Amino acid sequence: MRHRLKGQGNFDRLYRQGRRLHGSAMMLRWLDSHPDEPGSSWRCGVVISAKVHKRAVQRNRLRRLLHAHLIRSLDPAPLPCSHWLLLSLKPGSAERPREVLLGECSHLLQQAGLLP
């Protein structure tokens, strides 16, 4: 849980000031965090609305899937500076295969310059 982004103020700041990349199933927002932020080199939040899937169980599975993918992708290679990330799934993305979702997530991270 050390990579979990917490606090409504942090989410509001990401929505206002964060840079964005759109994919067909999700949107990535990222922002440089405060330089005095303790802990890891990145923190992430995953937003999945009821428009994506009406069952909370399914939304939580998707959230856990994306968090695990980010940990596998970003932990081995530390980022040069601290970042806050926010992944938002779009309606209809729950029906896509998980390989497609994870591939799009990796593609957006590469476009943002967060993956080599």
- The reported pLDDT for the residue numbered 41 is 76
pLDDT tens for 58-75 read 999 999 999 999 988 887
Q: How many CB atoms lie within 10 A of CB 28?
A: 23
pTM metric for this prediction: 0.86
Residue 109 in contact with residue 28, Cβ under 8 Å? yes
Domains and their CATH numbers in the chain: 8-110 (3.30.230.10)
Mean pLDDT of the residues in the chain: 87
